[in-house]
Amino acid sequence: MLNDGVQTPTFPLTPAHTAREALPALAAELRLPTNWLDYTILAIYFVVVLGIGFAARRSVKTSLDFFLSGRSLPAWITGLAFISANLAATEILGMAANSAQYGAYTVHWYWIGAIPAMVFLGLVMMPFYYGSKVRSVPEFLLLRFDKWAHLLSSILFAFAAILIAGVNLYALAIVVEALLGWPQWVAIVVAGLFVLAYITLGGLSSAIYNEVLQFFVILAALIPITVLALRKVGGWSGLTDRLTVLHGHDFVTAWGGTGIGSPNPLGANWLTIILGLGFVLSFGYWTTNFAEVQRALSAKNLSAAQRTPLIAAYPKIFIVFLVMIPGLVAAALVPKIGTSASGLQYNDAIPYLMQELLPNGVLGIAVTGLLAAFMAGMAANVSSFNTVFTNDIWSKYVVRHREDEYYVRFGRLITAIGVMASIGTAFLASSFSNIMAYLQTLFSFFNVPMFVAFIIGMFWKRASAKSGFWGLLAGTVTAMVNYFVMYKRHIIDIPTDQGANFVSAIAGFVAGGIVMFVVSLFTSPKSAEELEGLVYGTRSPGMAEPPAAGDDAWYRKPALLGWGAVIIAAACYIPFSL
């Protein structure tokens, strides 16, 4: 357990929209018995990744091609890339760790902490994003609010993207060192250069195509692990029996022990789970994080853009089993996991099962899947960073009104600079992991006020141009003050980092909202003409385009897809609530 009394160097393998703090490097005895077959599988994968980069290069002619795939991709590709961008290895290992530590509470990060927000993005927000033809999330803030909101969100996003890319790279280096025995710097440089090569060559198309491929390789890695892990503990009933004996019945339920005031390992109650995780953190992450939204903006038409997060929602509902079950099995097989007595950290859950269960061949697939997941996480951040830096910072405030080819060249240059900066960040992280953990928590709060600005800006015409900037600033500062001062200095009493994270998010949301409201009352609103297509109840001029042939098929109706995902996610809770 994470005790506040003990100062451990914390380096989190952090799922993107939470700030769980975990323990550092993986145990050294996890070295995998890889052979030539496994390495051949890995080598083939790297060749294909580069091949996609070279092939996608032919499609880059304008800056829109490079940064947004020319807004031309079909929904199944953008949808799977959307989920893959989220399914970074930090997410996989982090959520397995979460399950080993907290049990079945992990399902909340998926069914309530993802699905409603993804459906909201597809059904409600996408018409504004895609219809207004913005090329990035900050660009929407520029149209809806003013330059200050735009510049603040662009700069913070650019920093956060490089930081997260670097964190992914460092986490990859830790895992590769433990599993394959490569020195950390080799892994950092090799993975960094591969990502650099394929994004510089093919831009977003290359990143997205690789993400779709990665999605299937990751599944091919996780499914055998999950099946064999379940078999080892005697199926689901054998697993729950063992865990009930070890940790009590609440460990295998979603809501057990989450009554307000009753203690539970997560340190959160049903209210903070629903409001903090399910509403504020999750909506903030899924609807305003450009690394995700960018995938939808590259779709070929509005219908495909709307379906992007909805198609992604279905795998998201079920992927939880592929990360939670290995985590739970690890907790059942190694009762002392997470303590020094076992020599295994929570983060080791999946690598431990790979070592225990997988023969050569499938082992190679699993290693490839894990590396693919790290690269997906990094590439999603690099490809969104270069877009925001070029479109939102460079071309609007630094070098304006140049010919389009210039911005393509600049995009390639800034991709290289971004990857180099991530490599630098990864090396920094290896020496100052505490600082990086704080920075990561800090940036996780930034999505919260972004969401406030979006939700108020989209639904309240009166929200003034100035209110965006002040809402963003106030929300970010409040969430940070609550977390780093109120919680870390024990002014308010919350049992865990996780619980504090939820409460901070709620505080930031409320503060951002109040400040936007007050500032709007004292400043003048934008004219109705300027808000066309940006506020609920208005339409963009470009929105009138007729549906493409075939998009009226029943299985392509966004409303049906969206509500279907919500209903399935809700139904999944039933067996975990008994």
Partner 1 sequence: MSDHPEHRDRPDGPDGPERPEDFGYSGFTERDLQREVLDLEHRSTTAARIFDLRRIIGGLFVLYGVMVTIAGITASDAAIDKAEGVNINLWTGIGMLLLGLFFLAWLKLRPTPPPLPDTAPDDKPAAE
- Report the site for partner 1 in 262-291 (rule: CB under 8 A): none
Give least dist CB 339 to partner 1, A: 26
Among residues 69, 83, 168, which one has the least CA distance to residue 121?
83
Of residues 97 through 126, those in contact with partner 1 by CB under 8 A are none
Among residues 28, 46, 41, 81, which one has the least CA distance to residue 191?
46
Out of 167, 252, 350, 362, name the contact with partner 1 by CB under 8 A.
362
Q: Which is nearer to partner 1, 164 or 357 (CB)?
A: 357
- 297 and 70 Cβ atoms separated by less than 8 Å: no
Give least dist CB 364 to partner 1, A: 8
Q: Which is nearer to partner 1, 42 or 382 (CB)?
A: 42
Give least dist CB 501 to partner 1, A: 18
Alpha carbon separation from 497 to 100, 143, 274, 459, 488 (Å, rounded): 16, 36, 17, 33, 9
Angle between the N-to-C axes of helices 362-387 and 404-431, in degrees from 0 to 180, rounded to the nearest 10: 120
How far does CA 221 lie from the centroid of its chain?
20
Q: Which is nearer to partner 1, 188 or 456 (CB)?
A: 456
Locus of tokens 């769980």: 20
Of residues 229 through 248, those in contact with partner 1 by CB under 8 A are 231-232
Stretch that binds partner 1, among 155-163, 288-296, 356-364, 564-572 (CB under 8 A): 356-364
Out of 2, 124, 477, 568, name the contact with partner 1 by CB under 8 A.
477
Give least dist CB 74 to partner 1, A: 9
**Contacting residues for 26 by C-beta, under 8 A, at least 6 apart:** 174, 175, 178, 179, 345, 347, 348, 351
Of residues 312 through 351, those in contact with partner 1 by CB under 8 A are none
Residue 199 near partner 1 by CB under 8 A: no
Q: Which is nearer to partner 1, 359 or 547 (CB)?
A: 359
Out of 72, 244, 342, 434, name the contact with partner 1 by CB under 8 A.
72
Q: Which is nearer to partner 1, 10 or 532 (CB)?
A: 532
Give least dist CB 399 to partner 1, A: 15
Stretch that binds partner 1, among 92-100, 272-280, 354-362, 497-505 (CB under 8 A): 354-362
Give the H/E segment covering residue 157: helix 147-180
- 114 and 289 Cβ atoms separated by less than 8 Å: no
- 237 and 333 Cβ atoms separated by less than 8 Å: no
Residue type at 395 in one-letter notation: S
Stretch that binds partner 1, among 106-114, 250-258, 464-472, 487-495 (CB under 8 A): 464-472
Out of 275, 420, 481, 568, name the contact with partner 1 by CB under 8 A.
481
> 403: exposed, middle or buried (C-beta count within 10 Å: 0-12, 13-18, 19+)?
exposed
Among residues 472, 396, 448, 464, which one has the least CA distance to residue 152?
472
Out of 9, 28, 36, 61, name the contact with partner 1 by CB under 8 A.
61
Give least dist CB 360 to partner 1, A: 7
Q: Which is nearer to partner 1, 10 or 59 (CB)?
A: 59
Task: Spell out, one character per residue from 416 to 455, where the chain touches partner 1: x when CB under 8 A holds, - when not.
Answer: ----------------------------------------
Beta-carbon count within 10 A of 259 CB? 12
Residue 155 near partner 1 by CB under 8 A: no
Stretch that binds partner 1, among 11-19, 147-155, 414-422, 487-495 (CB under 8 A): 147-155
Give least dist CB 316 to partner 1, A: 19
Rounded distance, CA 323 to CA 114, Å? 15
Of residues 534 through 563, those in contact with partner 1 by CB under 8 A are 534, 540-542
Beta-carbon count within 10 A of 541 CB? 10
What is the token pair recorded at 12? 């989190």
Residue 147 near partner 1 by CB under 8 A: yes
Of residues 388 through 417, those in contact with partner 1 by CB under 8 A are 396, 404
Residue type at 235 in one-letter notation: G
**DSSP symbol at 73:** B
Rounded distance, CA 82 to CA 310, Å? 10
Task: Spell out, one character per residue from 29 to 58, where the chain touches partner 1: x when CB under 8 A holds, - when not.
Answer: --------x--xx--xx--x--xx--xx-x
Stretch that binds partner 1, among 59-67, 89-97, 439-447, 558-566 (CB under 8 A): 59-67
Among residues 166, 176, 167, which one has the least CA distance to residue 28?
176
Residue 220 near partner 1 by CB under 8 A: yes
Q: Which is nearer to partner 1, 263 or 541 (CB)?
A: 541
**Contacting residues for 5 by C-beta, under 8 A, at least 6 apart:** none
Rounded distance, CA 102 to CA 200, Å? 41
Q: Which is nearer to partner 1, 16 or 519 (CB)?
A: 519
Helix segments in 335-431, DSSP class H: 349-357, 362-387, 404-431
Q: Which is nearer to partner 1, 101 or 308 (CB)?
A: 308
Of residues 288 through 307, those in contact with partner 1 by CB under 8 A are 300
Give least dist CB 48 to partner 1, A: 5
Among residues 45, 2, 22, which one has the least CA distance to residue 441?
22
Out of 186, 193, 227, 560, name the contact with partner 1 by CB under 8 A.
227
Give least dist CB 102 to partner 1, A: 26
Among residues 555, 476, 494, which one has the least CA distance to residue 155?
476
Residues near partner 1 (CB under 8 A), total: 85
Q: Which is nearer to partner 1, 20 or 466 (CB)?
A: 466
Out of 19, 23, 26, 60, name the contact with partner 1 by CB under 8 A.
60
Alpha carbon separation from 232 to 210, 328, 350, 357 (Å, rounded): 33, 12, 14, 9
Among residues 447, 459, 452, which one has the least CA distance to residue 516?
452
Of residues 508 through 537, those in contact with partner 1 by CB under 8 A are 511, 514-515, 518-519, 522-526, 530, 532-534
Beta-carbon count within 10 A of 248 CB? 15
What is the token pair recorded at 378? 């990094």
